[in-house]
Structure 1
Amino acid sequence: MTIQLALVCLAIGLLVGAVGIGGMLLPSALSVGTGIAIHQGMATALLTFVFTGLAGTLAFQRRGSIDWTLARPLTLGVAATAWAGAWTSSLLDAPALSLTLAALIVAAGLYTLHDGAAKRATAAATPAPTRRRWLLLAAAGAATGFVSGLTGVGGPVLSVPLMLALGFPVLASIGVGQVVQVVGALSGTAANLSLGTIDFELAAQAGAFEIAGVVAGAALIHRVDLRLAQRCVAALCIVAGMAFMLRGAALY
């Protein structure tokens, strides 16, 4: 691994730990930095997210920032669909899906910049548990899991903006995103193992730098103003969406 790629992995880990979004950059970075095929880059990136997710979960849990009543239905949805997404990825080139995902993420980012969404997202408490909330989170998890397995981008890139759009606090959304990352990556990697598309040596090298970044990012997000964190998440959603648009357009 080159120094440049190691620094990129460190920066990606910092973003994942701080705002839950950043993993979408890793498959392309691995592919460009090492010359492996993009499908192998996706599978390798997804394996590293198991360990970055564990590091992020521990860092947020130590600070009391994970609401497990939110995490449970979301992760159930993720676990149910991530394997199917990874299996589908081995069969399809999906430019249309990339463009659809891009539009969804950009829309979520723009929505979280809205004043009403900002007030809800930076609130101190989450909405009271209801059956409707449970079903919404499970549905969001199912969508997140499938897209994570399909694209290798990591679950938080979709789960965090979806939770913010549904009105959950920003710190709780990012914390739950770390748990989502573990479940989605495990389920997707199970499919990729059977397909033989993972570069284990590269995953170990990239993962080590990502974990260092995640730990630093988790410490950082607990020290900044939540309004600023919410705006950073929104901005990264828009950037991520634009990146997916470019990737989808390139596939046509």
Structure 2
Amino acid sequence: MDITLIVGLLVLGAAVGFSAGLLGIGGGMLLVPFMTMILSAKHFPEAHVVHMAIATSLATIMFTSISSVRAHHKRGAVLWNVAKLLTPGILIGSWIGPWIGKQLDSSVLAIFFALFVAFSATQMLLDKKPAAARDLPGTPGMLAAGGCIGMLSGLVGAGGGFISVPFMTWCNVKIHNAVATSAALGFPIALAGTLSNIYFGMDVPDLPPGSLGFIYLPALAVIAVTSVLLAPLGAKTAHSLPVKTLKKVFAYMLYALAAYMLYKGLR
């Protein structure tokens, strides 16, 4: 791994960790487009670049979610009973998501990711919380909901917050509890998705040295360390900056990244 690649990944990891702490969001939607740019610039196999970016992004969430959930747990905000009901479905869905991604051409996967990011940016920009309409479903319903959250998260390399938080809020869970519980769900999403990306990527030819399945281990190591170190600084900064304004700026940046991924898929 040359020095320019290391520097690029260090900057990316720092930006992702700081943003996660500042805005309380996962880094997948930032990581995937920027990592796609970096790996493409370094002439990684074009057919696998998006798959590798998504898989490596998902793997980093294993590390960043731990520090995030600890902070929420200390405040007593995590609803562990809700997380327990959603986790079985999440583990199944997060395993299936990367398998679906493997069946898709890299360009199709890039387009799907672009649409997901554009939807998430719009959700952030409008900042609308769904009206509470019902209580949480029973065990079968929670299993199905967890499966959907996990499958989509595993497919796009994200922590699931843009899906799980609106779902829980719609089911009368208070917003701060929904955010905290969503953070707790990040680890099982990342764990199952990472194992799936390793398993389904092991038989893929032409992956670059340093790959474990679809995961590019050097990038994982660099980004995990820097993002975990910068997340607390982002969280501290959040108390002194207008976070609502920052979210709007971040949403517009997501639109730009979605446009890049759409370009990547259509060209």
Would the TM-score normalized by the shorter structure come out above 0.5?
A: yes
Q: Using the TM superposition, give the Cα deviation of residue 247 of structure 1 relative to its aligned residue in structure 2, in angstroms.
A: 2.0
Q: Does 1:217 align with 2:221?
A: no
**Contact in 2 for aligned 1:13/1:212 (Cα 8 Å):** yes
Q: Using the TM superposition, give the Cα deviation of residue 149 of structure 1 relative to its aligned residue in structure 2, in angstroms.
A: 1.2
Number of aligned residue pairs: give it: 239
Distance 2:93 2:162 in 1: 16
String of CA shifts for 1:165-216, please: whole Å, max 9, x gaps: 6664443233222212111111111111111121222211110011112233
**Contact in 2 for aligned 1:20/1:160 (Cα 8 Å):** no
**Contact in 2 for aligned 1:31/1:38 (Cα 8 Å):** yes
Instruction: State the secondary structure of the residue aligned to 2:103.
Output: coil
Q: Does 1:73 align with 2:81?
A: no
Aligned to 1:98: 113
Distance 1:130 1:164 in 2: 10
Aligned to 1:108: 123
Distance 1:179 1:54, change over 3 A: same
**Contact in 1 for aligned 2:65/2:186 (Cα 8 Å):** yes
Q: Does 1:206 align with 2:206?
A: no
Q: Does 1:244 align with 2:258?
A: yes
Distance 1:98 1:44, change over 3 A: closer
**Contact in 1 for aligned 2:33/2:260 (Cα 8 Å):** no
Distance 1:202 1:98, change over 3 A: closer
- Which of structures 1 and 2 has the bigger CA Rg? 2
* More helix by percentage: 1
Aligned partner letter, 1:71: A
Structure 2: any 5+ residue segments left out of the alignment?
A: 202-212
- 4+ runs of 1 displaced by more than 6 Å? 133-136
Q: Let me know the Cα RMSD of the aligned residues.
A: 3.5
Aligned to 2:18: 14
Match of 1:173 among 171, 178, 183: 178
Distance 1:212 1:144 in 2: 28
**Contact in 1 for aligned 2:6/2:222 (Cα 8 Å):** no
**Contact in 2 for aligned 1:86/1:188 (Cα 8 Å):** yes
Aligned partner letter, 2:164: S
Aligned partner letter, 2:12: V
Identity of aligned residues (%): 23
Instruction: State the secondary structure of the residue aligned to 2:151.
Output: helix
Instruction: State the secondary structure of the residue aligned to 2:76.
Output: coil
Q: Does 1:27 align with 2:37?
A: no
Q: Does 1:141 align with 2:146?
A: yes
**Contact in 1 for aligned 2:111/2:261 (Cα 8 Å):** no
Distance 2:217 2:82 in 1: 32
Aligned partner letter, 2:64: T
Q: Using the TM superposition, give the Cα deviation of residue 160 of structure 1 relative to its aligned residue in structure 2, in angstroms.
A: 3.6
Distance 2:230 2:193 in 1: 23
- Tell me the TM-score normalized by structure 1: 0.75
Aligned to 1:55: 67
- Tell me the TM-score normalized by structure 2: 0.72
Q: Using the TM superposition, give the Cα deviation of residue 49 of structure 1 relative to its aligned residue in structure 2, in angstroms.
A: 1.0
